[in-house]
Amino acid sequence: MDRRGFIKSLKNLLGPAIAAMLAASVTQASAADKVVKVGVLHSLSGTMAISETVLKDVALMTFDEINAKGGVMGYKIEPVVVDPASNWPLFAEKARQLLTQDKVAAVFGCWTSVSRKSVLPVFEELNGLLFYPVQYEGEELSKNVFYTGAAPNQQAIPAVEYLMSKEGGGAKRFFLLGTDYVYPRTTNKILRAFLHSKGVDDKDIAEVYTPFSHTDYQTIVGNIKQFAAGGKTAVISTINGDSNVPFYKELGNQGLKATDVPVVAFSVGEEELRGVDTKPLVGHLAAWNYFMSLKNASNDDFKKEWAAYAKAKKLSSADKPLTNDPMEATYIGIHMWKQAVEKAHSFDVDKVIVAMAGQQFKAPSGFVAEMDSKNHHLHKPVFIGEVKSDGQFSVVWKTKGPIRAQPWSPFIPGNDKKKDEPEGKSKV
């Protein structure tokens, strides 16, 4: 083929090709116009997969629910699911990927405090938006994070107050047992100061930590018995993850009944009881802002929706679908984000942050959850539940209404100087 012919044939090819590309980009643009990407940052493998996989599923369920009703401001939500594999540096890398590569409008994720602390610099640097649905130890307040889980004053402190009350058993001595990381350490520090303020001496407080995945609790249960010989004792357990199962089994087998030494746990919910024989545990307690057994219309809808979703997607939990507090918090967080976007008429992070203030949502807990106007935390009700033999919780006490969160606990010295709202400027 000679040169002229070659160029002509090129033109013949290029023309349509360019036209096709233009057409494609136009249709792409019109399709892209109506889609907003949202990130889901939960471990789907590794030690935390047990807890976090359901949060990914409930997030996807909520996105489907919102999309079915028309999406957010007419945009369909397109979830971007990544697996940081319970590896904290990988959390930071995936967060960065979600924000810079996928350019998501918001991220729903994290469970452990380590994972949250490792992604925090990324969110602050890139001015992203994170919704964190798990109860935690407080002592943090970032402009780029909305905390839909409980702060210590919405979980730990009401639980201890209940234990000290006549109704709760009138405990005089307290055995603080936790897994060795920041959440139990900080919570126990707050609780110790709280107990001091109620007149409990240090000699009536024991503080013990075990490593993650610890399974042999024989000695510790023996120590609890010894400690209990000194007076009416309650155990406050911040044991995390799968160590709870061997602990409760050992308690039951060594004959430590809940009527003698009640154990209140902050990290044990319906999902954690799934793998446990609950008959010896009847009477032990948990404190949350939501229980699956709550009887109200919004909870019934929520449970029905989850059961249907689990069945439709053939999830491994479909034969016995359970809902728990972090799932409820995820659900609330996503809906509040949608409401904030629609109020701000924009996906821009700064505008959404402003619009989040004061958002309200009828939560499955039966109360109206409200995002505080300043401190990025939800006002949540507190429920104390006792384990029943079927693995559900029966609510034995609850607050009259939602409680405002105090992320800077007044029981830690120096916190009185902290402001109740995040520092305004991002680092960029």
Partner 1 sequence: MMRRLAWLIGAAMLMASAAPVAALDAAVVDRLVFGDGDEKSRAIDALVAEGDPRAERLLQALADENVQTAGQRVLIVNGDAAIDAVTGAAVAPLPADRDDVVVNNRLRRELSAALAAFKLTAPSRDVRLSAARQLADSADAAMLPLIKRALGSEQDVAVRSSLESIAATLELHADDRNVRLAAIRRLGQSSSGNAKTLLLGLLERTPAGTYVETDEEVRSAAQSGLRAVDNRLAWGERVGLLFAGVSLGSILLLAALGLAITYGLMGVINMAHGELIMVGAYATYVVQSFFRSHLPQWFDFYLLLGMPAAFVAAALVGMALERAVIRFLYGRPLETLLATWGISLVLIQAVRSIFGAQNVQVENPAFMSGGIELLANVVLPWNRIVIIFFAAAVLIAMGLLLSRTRLGLFVRGVTQNRAMAACVGVPTRRVDTWAFGLGSGIAGLAGCALSQIGNVGPDLGQSYIVDSFMVVVLGGVGQLAGTVYAAIGLGFANKLLESWSGAVLAKIAVLIFIIVFIQKRPQGLFALKGRAVDA
Partner 2 sequence: MARLYGPRGWAAIGLSAAVLFVLFPLANLALPEGNPLHLSAYWVTLAGKIMCYAIVAVAMDLIWGYAGILSLGHGLFFALGGYAMGMHLMREIGREGQYRSDLPDFMVFLDWKTFPWHWWGTEHFWWSALLVVLVPGLLALVFGYFAFRSRIRGVYFSIITQALTFAAMLLFFRNETGFGGNNGFTDFKRILGFTVYTPQTRMALFAITGAMLIGTLLLGRYLVTSRFGRVLEAVRDAEQRIMFCGYNTLYYKLFVWTLSAVICGIAGALYVPQVGIINPSEMSPANSIEIAIWVAVGGRGTLTGAILGAALVNGAKSFFTQAFPEYWLYVLGLLFILVTLFLPHGVMGLLATAGRRKAAS
Provide the binding-site residues for partner 2, judged by CB under 8 A. Answer: 44-45, 81-85, 87-90, 92-94, 96-97, 100-101, 112-114, 117-118, 120-122, 125, 139-140, 180-182, 185-186, 189, 209, 211-212, 412, 414, 427
Contact 205/192 with Cβ under 8 angstroms? yes
Judged by CB, which is closer to partner 2: 190, or 387?
Answer: 190
Is 211 a binder of partner 1 (CB under 8 A)?
A: yes
Binder of residue 73, out of partner 1, partner 2, none (CB less than 5 to 8 A by kind): none
Judged by CB, which is closer to partner 1: 76, or 274?
Answer: 274
Is 49 a binder of partner 1 (CB under 8 A)?
A: yes
Judged by CB, which is closer to partner 1: 30, or 259?
Answer: 259
Q: What sign has the CA pseudo-torsion 267, 54, 272, 325?
A: positive
Closest CA to 252 of 243, 263, 267, 242: 263
Q: Which of 9, 25, 101, 219 binds partner 1 (CB under 8 A)?
A: 219
Q: What is the closest distance, in whole angstroms, from the C-beta atom of residue 279 to partner 2 in the complex? A: 33
Is 213 a binder of partner 1 (CB under 8 A)?
A: yes
Is 246 a binder of partner 1 (CB under 8 A)?
A: yes
Q: What is the closest distance, in whole angstroms, from the C-beta atom of residue 119 to partner 1 in the complex? A: 21
CA distance 113 to 149: 12
Q: What is the closest distance, in whole angstroms, from the C-beta atom of residue 330 to partner 2 in the complex? A: 18
Q: Which of 124, 139, 140, 250 binds partner 1 (CB under 8 A)?
A: 250
Q: What is the closest distance, in whole angstroms, from the C-beta atom of residue 285 to partner 1 in the complex? A: 8
CA distance 329 to 371: 12
What is the per-residue binding string for partner 1 in 78-117, x denoting contact by CB under 8 A?
Answer: ----------------------------------------
Is 325 a binder of partner 1 (CB under 8 A)?
A: no
Judged by CB, which is closer to partner 1: 234, or 352?
Answer: 234
Judged by CB, which is closer to partner 1: 37, or 274?
Answer: 274
Closest CA to 393 of 241, 283, 246: 283
Beta-sheet strand order (sheet of 130-132): 76-82, 35-41, 107-109, 130-132, 145-147
**Which residue's structure tokens are 């990927």?**
97
Binder of residue 325, out of partner 2, partner 1, none (CB less than 5 to 8 A by kind): none
Q: Which of 67, 127, 254, 399 binds partner 1 (CB under 8 A)?
A: 254
Q: What is the closest distance, in whole angstroms, from the C-beta atom of residue 408 to partner 1 in the complex? A: 31
Binder of residue 235, out of partner 1, partner 2, none (CB less than 5 to 8 A by kind): none
Judged by CB, which is closer to partner 1: 395, or 412?
Answer: 395
Is 67 a binder of partner 1 (CB under 8 A)?
A: no
Stretch that binds partner 1, among 114-122, 130-138, 247-255, 337-345 (CB under 8 A): 247-255
Binding site for partner 1 (CB under 8 A): 44-45, 47, 49-50, 53, 166-169, 180, 208-211, 213-216, 218-220, 222, 225-226, 228-231, 242, 245-246, 249-250, 252-255, 258-260, 262, 271, 274-277, 279-280, 283, 285, 315-317, 386, 388-389, 394-397
